[in-house]
A and B are shown apart, each in its own frame.
Chain A
Amino acid sequence: MARSGYTVVDVDAHYLEPVDDLTDFMQDPWKTIIESSGSSAFIPKNVGDRSMGGRIVRDALPSYFASKVIGAGRMGPEDVKTIHRRIGLSASIMVANWVLGLAETSQREAGIAYYNAYIDYMLERVTDPDRGIYTMPILSWQEPQESAALLERVGDHPAVVGACFSTSSANPPLGDEIYNPVYEVAERKGLPVVFHGATGGTLRSRGSYAEGVQRMIEAHLLGFSITNLIQITSVMLRGVPERFPGLKFVFMESGLFWVPMAMYRMDEYFLKRRSEAPLLKALPSEYIRDRFYFGTQPLESPKNPKHLQAVMEMIGYDNILFASDYPHFDYDEPSAISGLPFLTSEQKRAILGENAIRVFDLAAPAQPAWLRADEDPELAAQVDAGVLREE
């Protein structure tokens, strides 16, 4: 497996949490409810098949596509290190997988039970800051007080590096003042707020932005990007950056091309209707340059690389964070960045790792054994044979 040769920090690596086992970290009533009914009764399933009928395969995590049942694809803590080797990562911020769908269901009490159990499971069994394995609590937009309490409870843990809203279908959108309790805790604890959407087009949904589309090609395309557009517009124009001057904002999983549209469209509207966003002291695009950051995945690949270069320049090379989104069907290899002909080495280093280290205030990752192995064929053989364990 070719390595990029750079220190790679993955800001959106998905952990396939064992949803039915999360009941070990729950109390009644939800512990007994979920043990007896199973997670498929509560976590919405999307229309469509991510594996494209088996065309797409995840050799490092074969269970992910092996079953069509919610939560059947699962990982254990050792799988994170397998994925670090597989993708070529020095560190990753793990994001939940199955429970993200709870943003789109009215079963918000189930959501609170799962979100609490998820972070407790991760902190007890999976995370390891010394090995670059971090995570964030997943926060419910439907229960801001509960989410603030959850963030207060876990936000000081060394493995917790951000506060992640599961944003899909959030109503009102996340700029509203009812979400102040969450932003207050995040700002006080120095945690960036991460906005992570979902597919839309669920089989049992309260109203996702992608309702009515027939297939996942539309639902996935729209669900993430429309969600991000709505949330960034609301967060910006309701003045969250001014209400909480210490916060940084990170948006994941809809590529990069939507960002210039958001920037310049918000600027145009602000110039004409400024008094409707009276807290802002500068153009929205200036706030974006200052405190907003964007995961790269799924990175668009226009045939003319100058188009991608222009978009990256509009956003700012310091504001772009490599994300793999492994094991999802549309994940990116680090080569999606390191292979770009127009980037300098400095820009590649920034996007692949240095920006994330700065934004999430991570310790510089130790160079893992497999990375050193690339420079030493004997070491490489030992790592591949499983003889040499990572230190």
Chain B
Amino acid sequence: MADHIVAREGDIPERGRKLVNLEGRPIGVFNVGGRYFALHNRCAHQRGPLCEGILFPRHSATVDANRRTVEFLDHDNPVLCCPWHGWEYDLESGRCLADETRGVRTYPVRVDGGEVIVSIEA
């Protein structure tokens, strides 16, 4: 287990990101709503630059009492979209929204003493 300081608190703005390379791994670090997330920067599809993609509102749907589709966009809980083909990922779990069995590795991120720290476990 190794801790890596990737930024000072405040360096990465809200909805911002920083792309880093830690122990040879390309990783993207995101700040959404004051929480930090770190994901492996290679899409599970064809290894595209996932962490260079946009954050887009999470698009979901339910069925109402009349069996009609009702769609929602959650702007506070965005997903990360790979720029090559639009695959959508949950920032926290790293899982692909369209297929939970596919996803990318996520790394624990914490703020300690004003520093943003990503942990890479063996």
Task: Please list the residues of chain A having a beta carbon within 8 angstroms of any beta carbon in chain B.
Answer: 2, 52-57, 59, 301, 303, 329-333, 335-336, 339
Contact = CB atoms under 8 A, between A and B. Distances in A.
B101 A303 contact: yes
A54 B84 CA distance: 11
B46 to A, nearest CB: 5
Question: Which secondary structure dominates chain B's binding surface?
Answer: loop
Contact of B83 (A56, A336, A339): A56
Contacts, number: 38
Interface residues of B, number: 14
Interface string B34-48: 000000000001111
B90 interface: no
B86 A335 contact: no
5 contacts: A53-B56, A55-B83, A56-B85, A331-B85, A335-B46
B118 to A, nearest CB: 24
B104 to A, nearest CB: 16
Nearest to B102: A303
Interface of B: 45-48, 53-54, 56, 81, 83-86, 88, 101
A57 B86 CA distance: 9
A344 to B, nearest CB: 21
User: Which interface residue of A55, A329, A339 has the most chain B CB atoms within 10 A?
Assistant: A55
A57 B48 CA distance: 11
A63 to B, nearest CB: 15
B47 A55 contact: no
- Chain A to chain B: the 8 pairs with minimum beta-carbon distance, closest first: A55-B81, A57-B83, A55-B86, A52-B86, A56-B86, A333-B46, A55-B56, A335-B46
A348 B69 CA distance: 44
A327 to B, nearest CB: 10
Contact of A52 (B45, B47, B81): B81
B64 to A, nearest CB: 18
Given A57-B53, A301-B45, A333-B46, 4 more contacts: A53-B56, A54-B54, A333-B48, A335-B46
A52 B56 CA distance: 10
A329 B47 contact: no
Contacts of B83: 55-57, 59
Nearest to B55: A55
B85 A329 contact: yes
B46 A55 contact: no
Nearest to A332: B46
Nearest to A303: B101
Nearest to A333: B46
B98 to A, nearest CB: 11
Given A53-B56, A55-B53, A2 B47 contact: yes
Contacts of B101: 303
Contacts of B56: 53-55
A336 to B, nearest CB: 6
A57 B47 CA distance: 15
Contacts of B47: 2, 333, 335
Contacts of B46: 332-333, 335-336, 339
A55 B88 contact: yes
